[in-house]
Structure 1
């Protein structure tokens, strides 16, 4: 991170999103992506546009946010754009709020419409486009489903994660069932790709955390559950194979892709239901 960006980020977080210097009077967000190669968090301050607005708008209002990968008109996309293509789940910080989102670049006519609207409000982006042959991307930051808090403690955390995974997979199923046709095909395909990757990466992280942390801890306290943990570990490996097939099919999600998503949904729902039935009483007893 450049020292300039670091200073802006620190000032942003210390002053509820307000910064001075060259950005004084401007409204910014902080976008945190995961490094495509390093797998480390990477935060940048960015201007933004809002759905239904003319350009930059208040970060705490309603509506989908968009950011522009202008890189000041450079001939290469900024690093954060490459990161979100590899790892679509990002964190957005506004002046007073922080939330997860899935980053989805706009495509075709949708991208051109959004970019034209943004340029009308902020002509500098048009100047950046004139400097480079690359098509400057416009990226939608689609806020992920917020799961209602059902209870506290470790049991509540498990339910929160499971609820998020169920909601994200339901969205992937919905997108996969839509038939991509005509001008909207590219945008639908990219939405499906980004949301599917966000789901798959989150599921992988969740299962890895269980296998390496939660399950060994619980097995030490409850040796009689060893067979259950062995079975659940086998389910994790089977689901990981389905996940790999899904990710591998994203480049051409046509025939058979929806069926793969449906199979993943059946397997995962059964797995989550079985895991909750066995683990929730144990986790609740830990905090009783």
Structure 2
């Protein structure tokens, strides 16, 4: 079967550390991998990108088509994406800009790449401007760190989770404060914004992945090699289930984005925050000394 146009670009990109020829020669191109909203399968697309205001931006233009591209619908459901940029690969949280911020960023994009203005002129659809945020990049002490053992890897994951939680809390308070000053427009509590939603979904997705890995692989292996830890691992597993129940309630709240009850969301977020912070601290206190002796990645 002949290779598709996109697949040919993807293979050339990966074979040449991000450099491609033909119509994209010299252009700013990245590969974005999203997870299918329904299928759960990974999908990779080559996209042009723009850097503006210190941000990495992509536009869901679909060349001015009337409908959003599938990769955009995917990231609304599962915000954690993989970005390949030159020789670098990293995970990011995809957050569509809203309101005035979207307008400012789109203007910045068009100054660099005027073609996006032409695409917008072709459609009544407001072209989404998506910020690809490097998770934890703004967290204190969260610069690149060497991962030499499983303790380092655990701290890396926990730093990521804490960064998402901190962002959601701060953005939620700013959102409610805007509503209390009347900037929401009609005096009613504001609905939850896309920025809060995306980071909250990313936090929930990260928690699920992290706890599934621990419960299914790491904890059973530790219980076999360190039997004295079994009671501790059992307690941590119970904490996973408690955090999971609160997380499921948050996901249900987010399902009705436009009608979510802000005060209920605030209360659930406070409860999740307290439970998660306590769990992360407990897990680190109990496991880091043991995990420091286990190399990561595992040695063959």
Q: Identify the residue that residue 93 of structure 2 maps to in structure 1.
A: 102
Shift of 1:43: 1.4
**Partner SS state of residue 256, structure 1:** helix
CA distance in 2, matches of 1:253, 1:101: 28
Shift of 1:13: 2.1
CA distance in 2, matches of 1:209, 1:115: 39
Q: Which shows bigger deviation, 269-278 or 150-159?
A: 150-159
**Partner SS state of residue 280, structure 2:** helix
Q: Identify the residue that residue 235 of structure 1 maps to in structure 2.
A: 239
Q: Identify the residue that residue 217 of structure 2 maps to in structure 1.
A: 213
Query: Are positions 1:197 and 2:201 aligned together?
Result: yes
Q: Identify the residue that residue 60 of structure 1 maps to in structure 2.
A: none
Residue 235 and residue 88 in structure 1: after superposition, are their counterparts in 2 closer, same or farther (change >3 A)?
A: same
> Which of the numbers 144, 161, 171 marks the counterpart of 1:175?
171
* Larger RCO of the pair (alpha carbons < 8 Å, separation 6+): 2
Paired positions, count: 276
Q: What's the C-alpha RMSD, in Å, of the aligned pairs?
A: 2.4
Residue 187 and residue 114 in structure 1: after superposition, are their counterparts in 2 closer, same or farther (change >3 A)?
A: farther
Q: Identify the residue that residue 8 of structure 2 maps to in structure 1.
A: 7
Residue 280 and residue 96 in structure 1: after superposition, are their counterparts in 2 closer, same or farther (change >3 A)?
A: same
If the length of structure 1 is used for normalisation, what is the TM-score?
A: 0.87
Residue 186 and residue 121 in structure 1: after superposition, are their counterparts in 2 closer, same or farther (change >3 A)?
A: farther
Q: Identify the residue that residue 275 of structure 2 maps to in structure 1.
A: 267
**Partner SS state of residue 43, structure 1:** strand
Shift of 1:123: 3.4
Shift of 1:150: 6.5
Q: Where does structure 1 lack aligned partners over 5 or more consecutive residues?
A: 53-62
CA distance in 1, matches of 2:80, 2:130: 13
Residue 284 and residue 50 in structure 1: after superposition, are their counterparts in 2 closer, same or farther (change >3 A)?
A: closer
> Which of the numbers 51, 71, 78 marks the counterpart of 2:62?
71
> Which of the numbers 134, 155, 169 marks the counterpart of 2:125?
134
CA distance in 2, matches of 1:27, 1:186: 37
Q: Where does structure 2 lack aligned partners over 5 or more consecutive residues?
A: 296-300
> Which of the numbers 285, 292, 300 marks the counterpart of 1:284?
292
Residue 180 and residue 41 in structure 1: after superposition, are their counterparts in 2 closer, same or farther (change >3 A)?
A: farther
